[in-house]
């Protein structure tokens, strides 16, 4: 997967404070005029956070969403806090932790690249996220772990090795990920880290990536099962710390964390283990035993995770060795100023720090440098991936089916040939919201810079390709999902999660009762840990199933008419196999595949918007 872009708004700066009044962002400094805070009323958290002796603020899969979600359609306002707001929140939480005389760590589980104009909107010749990562470096992360999106392009990985990891002085971890430089393979970051907290707790930390196979040449990802057999791993865990902190870009369920957990438990049966996972973009929690907790904290800065643990006193201060179950808590916070002010006890005029404001202004300056507010047109209404049925006027998939025939044939010598155009629905990563449609929004919705290719085939065969793609047998589907998972594709699991959320709500409350209590839409999490995890109550978004693949409308021609079968390069292998299965006149190979246009998938919505939305 390549890039993934967020929607930013760069005009007018007002913010909502806890009492729902609108004020200038700073009571005295009115020079901050670039970011518009949503004027919609935001639901506050339901209760204070539960603090323990060791506490963690967790981020993961932020994908460059550093200026927050600034569209006005819900649930976007729930996630409207930017990185400057988050920095101020962290500052105040550190002060609270010190006043409580407890430990508070800040941890990230990877995927900083590929997501916003700030990370991906760089000029030609630049490096993805090089500029936006400078803002992450301003935050006091105790541990960070590498993600798969740091590995798709070698120069991105090299930049992380040379310019990012050194800043964290051994705390940016890549336990099973190497980069080859001048013929020598070496870790991108640290294999592990050992450090002592403010309260004297000894921490041993690892940063593990799932078994990813879509990495660039000259980078390597060692399978987790092999990593735990390495001598360095045995040496790293040999000495018992007060806590093992496993921060890694790997889902906490249905993946390989138990391999790491069991390897540690074989040596240290009762040492507390805290796992901070990621990758599937969901909110999730489970406990592998009574002295551990595993937490996953969503995606795109739509969630800030909180974990607390009442741990024994650090070694040297203990009386005996406890083996009792540990009291844990977890919470999934909506990242917005109402949330942040509630949990820090700050008001609108006392929340911002000079440091936080400087980060916001720096991000706005970067957005201006990258010209992210360049407007292609004005979207007439919201187009969504799953909230609206497909096909329908409000479906972004239906929109793309209409967009392709126009955008791919502009100035194309093959425009007069009848065609069918196919893409995968997973190439659409975010909803398209009403209002100005900018450079930023274009890449938010369709972030992957796929090329369009074509075959010339009889229409009788071409018309069978889409239904065959969408109705693969169970074995074929499992094989495809396994392949896509290894390449980093997570949309299937994310959409299964939000579908389950919606179905559960309908079963419990009925379609007519979903809006009871005037709750806004958002995440409604059910996980395997006790109590309610969501910090703010919501009702779930409506969910409608979508096909794996979509196409333009077929031409009105006879079956023997030769047509252009146009498709994104991402699905070339599957498509060739299917074309050969639905006809026998010719065996098609890659030699028959030709470029259809120079227009990339990231550009088609902008071309269409300039034509239809002005």
Tens digit of each residue's pLDDT (9 = 90 or more) over 323-368: 899 999 999 999 999 999 999 999 888 999 999 999 999 999 999 9
Beta strands in 53-100 (DSSP E): 54-59
Q: What is the largest CA-CA distance in the chain?
A: 85
Q: What percent of the chain has pLDDT over 90?
A: 81
16 has pLDDT over 90: no
* CA 46/CA 402 separation, integer angstroms: 44
Please state the pTM of the whole predicted model: 0.91
21 has pLDDT over 80: no
Confirm if 219 and 154 have CB atoms less than 8 A apart.
yes
Give the mean model confidence (pLDDT) for residues 146-171. Answer: 98
- Phi-psi label, residue 58: left if phi above 0, alpha if psi -120 to 50, beta otherwise: beta
Task: Find, among 43, 45, 44, the residue nearest to 74 by Cα.
Answer: 43
* CA 314/CA 199 separation, integer angstroms: 8
> In 10 A of CB 305, how many CB atoms?
26
Confirm if 332 and 523 have CB atoms less than 8 A apart.
yes
Secondary structure of residue 111 in the 3-state scheme? coil
22 has pLDDT over 70: no
Which pLDDT score is estimated for 209? 98
319 has pLDDT over 70: no
428 has pLDDT over 70: yes
Q: What percent of the chain has pLDDT over 70?
A: 92
Q: Please give the angle made by the CA atoms of 415, 416 and 421, to the nearest 5 degrees.
A: 55
Give the mean model confidence (pLDDT) for residues 222-242. Answer: 98
pLDDT classification of 291: cutoffs 50, 70, 90: very high
Q: Which tokens belong to 504?
A: 């559960």
461 has pLDDT over 50: yes
pLDDT classification of 517: cutoffs 50, 70, 90: low
56 has pLDDT over 80: yes
Which pLDDT score is estimated for 23? 31
Which pLDDT score is estimated for 25? 33
Q: Which residues contact 530 (CB under 8 A, 6 or more apart)?
A: none
* CA 385/CA 200 separation, integer angstroms: 48
Secondary structure of residue 163 in the 3-state scheme? helix
Q: Is the peptide bond before 75 cis (omega within 30 degrees of 0)?
A: yes
Bridge partners (DSSP) of residue 328 are: 309
* CA 88/CA 304 separation, integer angstroms: 14
Domain ranges of the chain: 14-369, 375-488+545-612
> 14-369 architecture in CATH?
4-Layer Sandwich (3.60)
Which pLDDT score is estimated for 483? 84
* CA 590/CA 100 separation, integer angstroms: 64
pLDDT classification of 318: cutoffs 50, 70, 90: low
Q: Which residues contact 461 (CB under 8 A, 6 or more apart)?
A: 579, 582, 583
* CA 248/CA 342 separation, integer angstroms: 29
Give the mean model confidence (pLDDT) for residues 447-474. Answer: 92
Give the mean model confidence (pLDDT) for residues 460-469. Answer: 96
Distances (CA, A) of 356 to 68, 81, 349, 414, 503: 14, 11, 13, 52, 40
290 has pLDDT over 90: yes
- The answer to whether 14-369 and 375-488+545-612 have equal CATH topology is no
DSSP at 244: E
478 has pLDDT over 90: no
Q: Which residues contact 13 (CB under 8 A, 6 or more apart)?
A: 24, 25, 32, 33, 34, 35, 36, 37
* CA 382/CA 373 separation, integer angstroms: 19
Over the range 526-535, which residues count as b (16 or more CB within 10 Å of their CB) and which as e? Answer: ebebeeebbb
Which pLDDT score is estimated for 513? 54
DSSP letter string over 432-450? B-SEEEEHHHHHHHS----
> In 10 A of CB 515, how many CB atoms?
11
CATH number for the region 375-488+545-612 comes to 3.90.780.10
Which pLDDT score is estimated for 40? 79
The residue ranking higher by pLDDT, 166 or 64, is 166
Give the mean model confidence (pLDDT) for residues 599-603. Answer: 94
Distance of CA 140 to the CA centre of its chain: 21
Which pLDDT score is estimated for 516? 55
Which pLDDT score is estimated for 322? 77
Helix H, strand E, coil C: the string for 520-577 is CECCCCCCCCCCCCECCCCECCCCCCCCCEEECCCCCCCCCCEEEEEEEHHHHHHHHH
479 has pLDDT over 90: no
Which pLDDT score is estimated for 320? 53
pLDDT classification of 494: cutoffs 50, 70, 90: very high
* CA 157/CA 152 separation, integer angstroms: 8
* CA 90/CA 105 separation, integer angstroms: 10
Over the range 128-143, which residues count as b (16 or more CB within 10 Å of their CB) and which as e? Answer: bbbbbbebbebbebbb
38 has pLDDT over 80: no
Which pLDDT score is estimated for 317? 61
């Amino acid at each position: 997967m390549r890039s993934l872009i967020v929607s930013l708004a760069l005009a007018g700066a007002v913010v909502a404070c806890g009492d729902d009044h609108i004020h200038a962002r700073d009571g005295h400094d009115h020079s901050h005029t670039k970011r518009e805070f949503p004027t919609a009323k935001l639901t506050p958290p339901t209760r204070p956070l539960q603090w323990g002796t060791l506490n963690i603020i967790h981020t993961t899969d932020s994908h460059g969403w550093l200026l927050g979600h600034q569209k006005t359609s819900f649930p976007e306002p729930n996630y409207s806090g930017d990185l400057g707001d988050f920095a101020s929140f962290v500052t105040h939480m550190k002060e609270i932790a010190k006043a409580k005389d407890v430990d508070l760590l800040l941890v990230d589980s990877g995927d900083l690249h590929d997501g916003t104009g700030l990370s991906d909107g760089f000029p030609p010749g630049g490096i993805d996220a090089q500029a936006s990562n400078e803002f992450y470096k301003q935050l006091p992360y105790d541990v960070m772990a590498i993600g798969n999106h740091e590995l798709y392009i070698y120069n991105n990985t090299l930049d992380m090795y040379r310019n990012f990891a050194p800043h964290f002085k051994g705390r940016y971890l890549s336990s099973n990920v190497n980069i080859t430089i001048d013929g020598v393979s070496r870790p991108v970051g640290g294999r592990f880290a050992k450090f002592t907290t403010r309260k004297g707790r000894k921490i041993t930390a690892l940063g593990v990536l799932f078994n990813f196979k879509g990495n660039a040449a000259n980078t390597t990802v060692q399978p987790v099962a092999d990593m735990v057999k390495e001598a360095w791993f045995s040496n790293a865990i040999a000495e018992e710390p007060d806590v093992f902190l496993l921060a890694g870009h790997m889902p906490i369920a249905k993946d390989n964390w138990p391999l790491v957990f069991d390897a540690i438990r074989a040596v240290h049966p009762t040492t507390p283990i805290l796992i901070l996972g990621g990758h599937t973009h969901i909110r999730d929690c489970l406990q592998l035993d009574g002295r551990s907790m595993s937490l996953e904290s969503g995606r795109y800065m739509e969630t800030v995770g909180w974990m607390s643990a009442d741990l024994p006193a650090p070694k040297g201060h203990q009386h005996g060795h406890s083996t009792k179950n540990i009291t844990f808590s977890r919470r999934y916070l909506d990242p917005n100023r109402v949330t942040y002010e509630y949990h820090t006890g700050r008001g609108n005029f006392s929340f911002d720090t000079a440091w936080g404001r400087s980060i916001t202004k720096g991000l706005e300056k970067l957005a201006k440098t990258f010209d992210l507010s360049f407007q292609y047109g004005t979207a007439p209404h919201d187009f969504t991936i799953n909230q609206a049925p497909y096909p329908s006027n409000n479906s972004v998939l239906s929109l793309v089916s209409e967009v392709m025939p126009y955008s791919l044939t502009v100035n194309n010598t093959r425009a007069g040939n009848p065609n069918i155009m196919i893409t995968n629905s997973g190439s659409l990563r975010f909803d398209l919201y009403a209002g100005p449609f900018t450079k930023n929004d274009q890449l938010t919705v369709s972030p992957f810079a796929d090329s369009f290719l074509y075959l010339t085939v009889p229409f009788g065969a071409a018309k069978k390709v889409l239904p065959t793609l969408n109705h693969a047998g169970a074995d074929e589907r499992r094989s495809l999902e396994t392949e896509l998972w290894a390449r980093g594709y997570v949309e299937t699991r994310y959409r299964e999660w939000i579908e389950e959320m919606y179905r559960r709500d309908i079963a419990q409350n009925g379609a007519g009762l979903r809006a009871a209590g005037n709750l806004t839409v958002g995440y409604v999490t059910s996980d395997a840990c006790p109590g309610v995890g969501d910090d703010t109550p919501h009702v779930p978004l409506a969910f409608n199933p979508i096909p794996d693949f979509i196409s333009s409308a077929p031409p009105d021609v006879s079956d023997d008419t030769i047509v252009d079968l146009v498709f994104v390069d991402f699905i070339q292998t599957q498509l060739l196999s299917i074309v050969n299965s639905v006809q026998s006149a010719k065996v098609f190979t890659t030699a028959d595949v030709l470029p259809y246009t120079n227009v990339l998938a990231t550009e088609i919505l902008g071309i269409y918007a300039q034509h239809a939305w002005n």
